Amino acid sequence: MSTQTQAIALSGSRKRWLKDRIAQIGVTTGGILVLVALLLIFFYLLYVVKPIFDSARVEPGPEFSLLDNTAGNEQGLDIGNTVLLGVEEQNELVYRFNDKGEVNFYSVPENGKRIYSFNIDGEVTSVARSISDNMVAYGLSDGAIVVLSPKFNVSYPDNIRTIQPEVAFPFGEQPLVVDGQRRALTQLSVARSGDDFLAAALTASGAGVLTKFAGKENFMTGEVELSPTQVEIPGLPADVDQLLLTPNLRFLFARSGNEVYVFDVRNINKVQLRNVLTMNVQGGNITSLSLLSGGNSLLVANDNGKISQWFEVTRDGKREFTFIREFEANGAIEQITSEVNRKGFITASRNGSLDIFHTTGGSRLFSKKLAGDNVSALAMSPRNSMLLLLEGNTLSTFHVENEHPEVTWRAMWTKVWYEGYPEPQYVWQSTSGSSDFESKLSLVPISFGTIKAAFYALLFAVPLAIAGAVYTAYFMSPGLRKVVKPTVEIMEALPTVILGFLAGLWLAPLIENHLPGMVILLVMMPLSILLMAFAWHHLPKNIRSMVPEGWQCILLLPLVILVGWMSFAFSPVVENLFFGGNARGFLTNELGIGFDQRNSLVVGIAMGFAVIPTIFSIAEDAVFSVPRHLSNGSLALGATTWQTLTRVVMLTASPGIFSAVMMGLGRAVGETMIVLMATGNTPVMDFSIFNGMRTLSANIAVEMPEAEVNSSHYRVLFLAALVLFVFTFMVNTVAEFVRQRLRDKYSSM
């Protein structure tokens, strides 16, 4: 070899080596960047999700005395018993209503300076606060009540926010007569719903009266006029310790010791005693009744530190109050208050312990000794960010960080007994039009829907894709394979939104209107193909030889078209003959099987159509790549073509076939647009093929645009994305492990 030839060969080797190194570095760098991107996605999801699992935190804030010391000396004034304690939304002005008819407002930034006071006229004999809003009703010695509420006027003089407090009269300054006989009111409970107002009271003579003030807007003046209706409360016990009305003006609770009398007061002219319940827990006695936000749940506090939750449950066609769950505080309950627009509550025990609970998750979120043994009032701010605690004459404030109390592991992954539900259930319902809505953020229904959708999609796609791949790679002629394989693979380029559109607007109504035909098709298509194969096998050899080897599948096209047409053509006949002309009604009424137009069958067909190209392409390559000497050797030893396929080719190609199925599963689990458009997006726990579902990916796509940033709903949606990410990662990891084991097992063949 000449020197010039050697130099050219050496130069070519160096270029080849350089290209190989560049390609190796590029592939390695790309792989590393993919891993880094996946890790960044994982840690970002974890960063967004982490706050929902943080514990509640309570930090001490300013504290000050409520005594009027503007003159410079404390005189030990009696501030009375607190009826209503609260703070406005900005946590700047504290208000306090006492049992003497005095109302005071204090400035937190100015160290508790009293900035406004108000006193009502008349002799106060009883007092009550409304649960649903900040209203206080003072019962007077003449059988009338005065209703007050705090009001804050916000202005911006010189671009500085100024909050001016005052006392408002929701029903006018004129007292409302509750007892027509003008007897003093010794106990009182009030509630408001819209323009209607309801008052329940005990008089000095021991009688119980219920007065409803029906509000009606005056057409001329626009003012709301109240029309009173008074009735006696029948069946009241001799000793009543507490009266409590629900905000919806539906129930009146009268507590006598450990017994609670439940009255139905929806119809003022037909008040009736529903039942008498013993609500104390074992080993304890009731100290007070309270209502959770929304007024649907009754909280029963006991002197042994236990609080029980009760609400109405429908059983055997009747609704009755039922014990739901129990909470335990660190000591006998002294004070209890509910959070605003959330299903949580706070208790103060006699030993000074403060506990924060949330009913949906059945959890205690915080517990710590923060006060002494003389807590007389407890209140939470409207945004649930400040806690007020009155001990003696000293008002203490606490900053509360408890943004996501409704999100607990138990609430997301176990059955929860929600308000109004007949039993504990898995429910996803993240939003509602009501501010008193109880968030239902169980991930079980949408995780179940994800698995259900993937199962039916693979049930449809795997047999067709693998059987087609095996036939194409092993039996089909090379000329036909060059047409079929690219045709199937190009199906993957079809946008899934188009498939979802066709499935939702064309396929779903088609299946609904031809349900018997679809069942006939699913049964007759494989049977007809088997009969065709049997008939072909018994035809004379000279006839079979007329069709070139590997082209026999073309003969099935007319059969498939004919069977499909006949199935749908005979569908109305079968429906009229066996199902009275309404197959869907027969399923629902006779068999008790629900039927949704956009159901799992539609999703399985549509998503299976999208998954088939992925599984087919990878499986076909795996089967086609089996070395020919293996199959030729098997045939040479006397094995049939079928034996060679099942015992040599399929085993050798099994790692690739398994990878194809796993790739299809990953595609099905992550699919969004098809399940979004082809299902009812109903998060139900039902494996029926005739019902729909909601998947993790579709749920994120539907609700993320409307979720408030950093809210519990927003973060739980990110948690759903994290669950989907971890699930696919685990499936792919297991798939790779199994594939490698299969490869090691059959690589020696």
Q: Residue 430, SS3? A: coil
- What integer is the mean pLDDT of 467-485? 89
Q: Could you tell me whether strands 113-119 and 124-129 are parallel, antiparallel, or unpaired per DSSP bridges? A: unpaired
Instruction: Calculate what percentage of the chain has a pLDDT beyond 70.
Output: 95
| DSSP element (H, E) containing 289 | strand 286-291
d(CA 286, CA 333): 10
Quote the pLDDT of residue 449. 92
Checking if the pLDDT of 427 tops 50, the result is yes
Under a CB-based contact definition with an 8 Å cutoff, are residues 134 and 150 in contact?
yes
Q: How confident is the model at residue 375 (pLDDT cuts 50, 70, 90)?
A: confident
Give the amino acid at 461. Answer: A
- Decide which of 77 and 97 is more confident: 97
Q: Give the rounded distance of the alpha carbon of 318 from its chain centre.
A: 27
Under a CB-based contact definition with an 8 Å cutoff, are residues 320 and 275 in contact?
yes
Query: What residues pair up with 63 in beta bridges, in sequence order?
Result: 396
Quote the pLDDT of residue 48. 93
Under a CB-based contact definition with an 8 Å cutoff, are residues 587 and 593 in contact?
yes
Quote the pLDDT of residue 103. 92
Query: What residues pair up with 333 in beta bridges, in sequence order?
Result: 349
Quote the pLDDT of residue 747. 62
Checking if the pLDDT of 74 tops 60, the result is no
Checking if the pLDDT of 98 tops 50, the result is yes
Burial annotation 402-417 (CB, 10 A radius, 16+ → b, else e): bbbbbbbeebbeeebb
d(CA 216, CA 196): 8
The Cβ of residue 565 has, within 10 Å, a number of other Cβ atoms equal to 12
| DSSP element (H, E) containing 737 | helix 712-746
- What integer is the mean pLDDT of 661-683? 86
Q: Give the rounded distance of the alpha carbon of 231 from its chain centre.
A: 43
* pLDDT tens column, 32-72: 999 999 899 999 999 999 999 888 999 999 988 887 544 34
- What integer is the mean pLDDT of 126-142? 88
Quote the pLDDT of residue 5. 65
Give the amino acid at 491. Answer: M
| DSSP element (H, E) containing 629 | helix 628-636
The Cβ of residue 263 has, within 10 Å, a number of other Cβ atoms equal to 23
Quote the pLDDT of residue 2. 63
Handedness of CA 496, 502, 505, 507 (dihedral sign): negative
* pLDDT tens column, 188-209: 999 998 888 999 999 988 889 9
Which ranges of 477-555 does DSSP label H, i.e. alpha helix?
Answer: 478-490, 496-502, 508-513, 515-537, 541-544
Q: Residue 518, SS3? A: helix
Contacts 24+ apart (CB under 8 A), 641-647: 645/470, 645/474
Half-sphere exposure of 725 (CA within 13 A, CB side): 17
Under a CB-based contact definition with an 8 Å cutoff, are residues 57 and 384 in contact?
no
Quote the pLDDT of residue 462. 93
Break the chain down into helix, strand, coil percent, rounded to 5: 40, 30, 30
| DSSP element (H, E) containing 699 | helix 696-703
d(CA 316, CA 278): 21
d(CA 599, CA 690): 5
- What integer is the mean pLDDT of 503-518? 89
Quote the pLDDT of residue 69. 43
Q: Residue 538, SS3? A: coil
Under a CB-based contact definition with an 8 Å cutoff, are residues 364 and 405 in contact?
no
Give the amino acid at 162. Answer: T
Nearest to 116 by CA among 102, 98, 135: 102
Nearest to 308 by CA among 273, 258, 264: 258
d(CA 325, CA 23): 64
d(CA 151, CA 133): 12
CA angle (412 as vertex; 407, 417 as ends), nearest 5: 95
Quote the pLDDT of residue 496. 86
Nearest to 382 by CA among 92, 731, 664: 92
- What integer is the mean pLDDT of 506-513? 89
Quote the pLDDT of residue 70. 42
In the predicted model, what is the mean pLDDT of the chain?
87
Handedness of CA 166, 172, 174, 178 (dihedral sign): negative
**Token pair for 734:** 């297991």
Q: How confident is the model at residue 749 (pLDDT cuts 50, 70, 90)?
A: low
Q: Could you tell me whether strands 363-369 and 353-358 are parallel, antiparallel, or unpaired per DSSP bridges? A: antiparallel
**Among the ranges given (145-154, 364-373, 589-598), the one the predictor scored with the smallest mean pLDDT:** 589-598
Half-sphere exposure of 624 (CA within 13 A, CB side): 18
The Cβ of residue 24 has, within 10 Å, a number of other Cβ atoms equal to 10
> What end-to-end distance do the CA atoms of the chain give, in Å?
43
Checking if the pLDDT of 75 tops 80, the result is no
- Decide which of 736 and 674 is more confident: 674
Instruction: Calculate what percentage of the chain has a pLDDT beyond 90.
Output: 39
The Cβ of residue 667 has, within 10 Å, a number of other Cβ atoms equal to 22
* pLDDT tens column, 232-273: 999 898 889 999 999 989 999 999 999 999 999 999 989 999
* pLDDT tens column, 144-188: 999 999 999 988 888 888 889 999 998 888 899 998 888 999 999
Checking if the pLDDT of 76 tops 60, the result is no
Quote the pLDDT of residue 11. 65
Q: Residue 135, SS3? A: coil
DSSP category for residue 492: G
- What integer is the mean pLDDT of 508-536? 89
Quote the pLDDT of residue 366. 92
**Token pair for 138:** 């003072």
Place of tokens 């008040």: 271
Quote the pLDDT of residue 9. 61
* pLDDT tens column, 614-666: 999 999 988 888 888 888 888 888 888 888 888 888 888 888 888 889 888 88
d(CA 712, CA 49): 9
The Cβ of residue 419 has, within 10 Å, a number of other Cβ atoms equal to 20
Write the DSSP string, 203-224: ETTS-EEEEEEEEEE-TTT-PE
User: Cβ-count burial of 28 within 10 angstroms (0-12 exposed, 13-18 middle, 19+ buried)?
Assistant: exposed
| The CA-based dihedral angle spanning residues 517, 523, 524, 529, taken in that order and rounded to the nearest 10 degrees | 140
Is 444-746 in CATH node 1.10.3720.10?
yes
Quote the pLDDT of residue 210. 93
Q: Among the ranges 372-376, 546-550, 568-572, which has the highest mean pLDDT value?
A: 568-572
Q: How confident is the model at residue 298 (pLDDT cuts 50, 70, 90)?
A: very high
Nearest to 671 by CA among 650, 697, 689: 697
CA angle (144 as vertex; 141, 149 as ends), nearest 5: 110
- What integer is the mean pLDDT of 343-358? 91
CA angle (16 as vertex; 14, 22 as ends), nearest 5: 100
Handedness of CA 88, 92, 96, 101 (dihedral sign): negative
Query: What residues pair up with 394 in beta bridges, in sequence order?
Result: 65, 391
- What integer is the mean pLDDT of 587-591? 83
Under a CB-based contact definition with an 8 Å cutoff, are residues 354 and 348 in contact?
yes
Q: Residue 746, SS3? A: helix
Q: Residue 504, SS3? A: helix
Under a CB-based contact definition with an 8 Å cutoff, are residues 550 and 487 in contact?
no
| Rounded CA Rg of the chain | 37
d(CA 274, CA 89): 39
**Token pair for 187:** 């106990």
Quote the pLDDT of residue 291. 93
| DSSP element (H, E) containing 117 | strand 113-119
d(CA 49, CA 719): 6
